Amino acid sequence: MDGMSARDRFRAGVLPWALWAGVAGCFGWFLLRAWKGLPTAANPYKGDFEHFYHAAVAVVRGEDLYASHTGGYIYPPLLAALVTPLTYLDARWAQVAWAGVNLALTGVVLWMAWRAWRERVGVPGDRLTAGALVLGAVLLTFEPVRWEFEEGQSDTLVILGMVGALLWMDKRPWLAGVLTGFAVNIKYQAVVLLPYYLVRRRWSAAAGTAVGAVAFGLVPAVMIGWEKNLGYLGRALGGLGNLASGRGGVGEGTHNGLTWEKSVSVPSGLARMLGEGTPVEWVYAGTGLVAGLMFAAGWWVYRGRGVAMFAGRGGLAEGRGLWRGVAGVEWCGLIVAVLALSPQTMVRHSFILLPVHMLAAAVVLVPRAGVARWPVVAGVVVYQLGARLPPGNVEAFKPALEWWQGVSGSTWCLLVMVLTLAWSGVEYARASSEGRALLDPPPGMR
């Protein structure tokens, strides 16, 4: 550190340790919340892991997994099959083990996201930058990560497949596709990546998705048999169809209806605003209009940044130069689309924003010449406030909170954030491809 300024010595020596200590502190808190979320004799029905566990028990016993426990298992059969090793433990200790799985998977997801942004937008690979980006992503996604651990959720598996696809879709497109197919078999929303592969002429990734979706869909057949597995897949898809058509229900692979009060998706918000009895076609017409307006806004962003959305795009070009970084920004848009436009989204599902928030942190904390940071800062602030306000623990604000949740207010704020990220993120990708200087490089890179 000879010749460094006092500021650079602090940034090279003390600050990385402080940042990583902050990351460790966050995960210590998440594990504490996971412990507090364990079922007890007084409250045996806590979180969602109980549904995974009892579905896995049903798989082992040869019983109907969709009729298991309280009928709350609504996923394809793969997740239940993956949890079967934990059935050797009782429900409480199985959930403890699942918290350990979620901890490991979250660490892998953060590592893969950091690697992906290093390769796509050129963020430095030093300890200081890595610590800042990981901590930034965790803090911006703090509540959803807490819920993921406390309730024993499965979104870690979904984002594992999706961020793995982001990391490898240029170098190993078949693997990216297979990982996408895996994610589809946990929650169907991940299928949004398939049309993207097709539009961008990523044929290997698209083929890998098809192969992966079929292969992972058939994995449970090893345990339960071909015929029963196909029946489960049909019932799971049928439940999804019930949701998409606006019908509700519990058990038999069905979901709550579009107007379910805990859903914050655009379709749910529109369904509640339009009122009970509104034809579901109107809801989806409104959702399509919102999607169209977002696409038009994205087109305007691209034109404003002098970047083509389609001309000269596709195929091998997607993995080179400017398009490599732009593809990462587009991938963030797909993640937001999964959350915003799905028939049903809960606040905790925004756990899958971890890599998106990491890119936002990179634009702000690792600035490059000619890239405006204030749009991203403004967008992040809008979304963070929208996800937290009005305060639900203040009696006077409860009517406002009910209205805000009723219109899916936090998700509209998320759409604002992703547009600001696109505005600055596309320019950040261009700056990286042109080799523009970092405005405040890590010590030793000056």
Q: How far apart are CA 357 and CA 74, in angstroms?
A: 28
3-class SS at 439? coil
Q: How far apart are CA 326 and CA 109, in angstroms?
A: 20
CA distances to 96, 270, 414 from 373, in Å: 41, 32, 17
Q: Per-residue pLDDT tens for 265-316?
A: 999 999 999 988 889 999 999 999 999 999 999 999 999 999 999 998 999 8
Q: Please compute the mean of the pLDDT values over residues 320-348 and round it to a whole number.
A: 95
Which residue, chain included where needed, has tokens 């995960």? Answer: 27
Mean pLDDT of 98-116: 98
Give the list of residues 6+ apart from residue 195 with CB closer than 8 angstroms, or none. Answer: none
Q: Name which of 180-184, 364-368, 436-440 the model is least confident about.
A: 436-440
pLDDT computed for residue 12 by the predictor: 87
Nearest to 13 by CA among 131, 137, 133, 139: 131
175-200 mean pLDDT: 96
Percentage of residues in the chain with pLDDT exceeding 90?
79
CB–CB of 321/313 below 8 Å?
no
pLDDT (tens digit per residue) in 24-55: 999 999 999 999 989 876 677 777 899 999 99
The pLDDT value given to residue 391 = 80
**How far apart (Å, rounded) are the C-alpha atoms in residues 362 and 125?**
12
The pLDDT of residue 251: 43
More confident residue, 159 or 344: 159
- Alpha-carbon Rg of the chain, whole angstroms? 22
Residue 250 clears pLDDT 50, i.e. is over it? no
- Residue among 372, 357, 350 at smallest CA distance from 117: 357
**How many angstroms separate the CA atoms of 114 and 365, rounded?**
14
Non-local CB neighbours of 145 within 8 Å, separated by 6+ positions:
26, 30, 106, 138, 351, 354
Q: Are 245 and 320 in contact (CB under 8 A)?
A: no
pLDDT of 98 > 80? The answer is yes
Angle of helix 142-150 versus helix 127-140 axis, rounded to 10: 70
Question: DSSP letters of 82-99?
Answer: HHGGGGGS-HHHHHHHHH
Place of tokens 């261009």: 430
Give the pLDDT score at 249.
46
> Rounded to an integer, what distance in angstroms lies between the CA atom of residue 217 and that of residue 233?
8
Contact 354, 110 (CB under 8 A): yes
Which residue in 408, 415, 424 sits closest to 335, CA to CA? 415
Specify the amino acid at residue 232.
Answer: Y
User: In Å, what is the CA distance from 7 to each residue of 1, 272, 361, 367, 443?
Assistant: 11, 53, 21, 18, 9
Report, as an integer, the average pLDDT of 238-260.
60
Determine the average pLDDT of the residues in 407-412.
Answer: 96
Looking at per-residue pLDDT, the higher value among 337 and 390 belongs to 337
pLDDT at 445 over 70: no
Mean pLDDT of the residues in the chain: 92
More confident residue, 4 or 363: 363
Q: Tell me 169's DSSP state.
A: T
User: Are 148 and 156 a contacting pair, CB within 8 Å?
Assistant: yes
pLDDT of residue 246: 54
Q: Which residue has the higher pLDDT, 256 or 89?
A: 89
Q: How far apart are CA 46 and CA 68, in angstroms?
A: 16
Q: Which long-range contacts (CB under 8 A, 24 or more apart) does 42-47 make?
A: 44/91, 45/70, 46/151, 47/95, 47/150, 47/151, 47/152, 47/153
Mean pLDDT computed over 389-409? 88
On the question of pLDDT at 3 being above 80, the answer is no
Q: pLDDT at residue 256 above 80?
A: no
Task: List b or e across 126-142, with b for residues whose CB sees 16 or more CB atoms inside 10 angstroms.
Answer: bebbbbbbbbbbbebbe
What's CA 221's distance to the chain center, in Å?
Answer: 28
Predicted confidence at residue 276, as pLDDT, reads 83
> Is 216 in a helix, a strand, or coil?
helix
Q: Give the three-state DSSP class for 63.
A: coil
Least Cα distance to 377 among 140, 169, 195 occurs for 140
Structure tokens at 20: 């990583």
What is the reported pLDDT for 239? 65
